[in-house]
C-alpha cells in the first residue's frame, strides 16, 4: 500500500473511541462552565463544544444536565484525602497552608468557585449538600472518630471552608507577626477538634 493510500485508509477508517477520556473531557468542561456561569446559565451545548464532543454524548454518558452537575460536583471533591492526614501534624500543616497564598493551580481555584456557585443557587444547593455529606463530611467524621464525631466534623468543615474563602479573598501569603499568630490560633482550633 502506498503512503497516499495508507493515509486515505486511515482517514476513512472509523476512529476508536475512548469512553473514559470522553467522559473526563466532558466532566472537566462541565466543571469549568459551572464554575464560570453557574448551573442555570451553563448550557449542555457549550459544555459539549468545550469538551470537543457532540451534545448527545453528554446525554449518553451522564443522562442530562442535573446528573452531569452531580458528577461534576463529586469530581470536584477529589479522592478521600483524609487517608493521608496525620492527626499529630495536621493542625499545624493546615494552618501553614491557610497562611500561604492562593495556589497557582487554577483547577483548584476553579473547583472552589464551582462549589461556591453551587451553594448559592436554590436549584443546586440541595445537590451540593448531598455531595458534601458523602464526599467531605463522612470521610472527615470517620477520620476524627470518637464522641460527637458528626458535630465535630461539621465544625471542622465550617472552619476549613471559611479559611479557604479567607485565603481566596486575601490572595497573598501572611507575613511576620500576623502569620505567627494566625498559624498558632488556627492550629489550636483544629487541635481542639481532634
Domain limit, last residue, from 32, 47, 69: 69
The pLDDT score that the predictor gives to residue 109 is 67
The pLDDT score that the predictor gives to residue 15 is 46
Domain limit, last residue, from 47, 69, 91: 69
User: Contact at 8 Å (CB) between 172 and 103?
Assistant: no
93 lies in the same domain as 172: yes
The pLDDT score that the predictor gives to residue 10 is 47
**The domain that contains 38 carries what CATH number?**
1.10.10.60
18 lies in the same domain as 54: yes
Q: Model-level pTM?
A: 0.69
The least confident of 3-12, 40-49, 170-179, 184-193 is 3-12
90 lies in the same domain as 45: no
The pLDDT score that the predictor gives to residue 135 is 82
* Domain contains 75: no
* Domain contains 129: yes
Q: Which domain holds residue 46?
A: 3-69
103 lies in the same domain as 163: yes
What would the pLDDT profile of 23-70 be if each residue is shown by its tens digit? 999 999 998 888 888 888 999 999 999 999 999 999 999 999 999 998
Domain limit, last residue, from 69, 95, 123: 69
Amino acid at each position: 500500500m502506498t503512503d497516499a493510500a495508507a493515509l486515505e485508509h486511515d482517514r476513512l477508517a472509523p476512529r476508536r473511541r475512548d469512553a473514559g477520556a470522553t467522559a473526563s473531557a466532558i466532566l472537566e468542561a462541565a466543571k469549568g462552565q459551572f464554575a464560570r456561569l453557574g448551573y442555570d446559565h451553563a448550557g449542555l451545548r457549550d459544555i459539549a463544544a468545550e469538551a470537543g464532543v457532540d451534545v448527545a454524548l453528554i446525554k449518553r454518558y451522564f443522562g442530562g444536565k442535573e446528573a452531569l452537575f452531580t458528577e461534576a460536583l463529586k469530581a470536584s471533591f477529589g479522592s478521600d484525602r483524609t487517608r493521608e492526614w496525620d492527626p499529630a501534624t495536621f493542625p499545624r500543616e493546615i494552618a501553614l497552608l491557610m497562611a500561604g497564598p492562593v495556589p497557582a493551580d487554577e483547577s483548584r481555584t476553579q473547583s472552589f468557585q464551582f462549589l461556591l456557585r453551587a451553594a448559592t443557587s436554590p436549584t443546586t444547593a440541595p445537590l451540593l449538600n448531598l455531595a458534601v455529606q458523602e464526599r467531605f463530611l463522612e470521610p472527615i467524621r470517620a477520620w476524627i472518630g470518637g464522641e460527637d464525631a458528626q458535630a465535630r466534623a461539621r465544625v471542622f468543615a465550617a472552619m476549613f471552608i471559611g479559611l479557604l474563602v479567607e485565603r481566596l479573598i486575601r490572595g497573598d501569603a501572611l507575613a511576620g507577626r500576623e502569620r505567627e499568630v494566625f498559624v498558632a490560633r488556627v492550629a489550636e482550633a483544629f487541635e481542639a477538634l481532634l
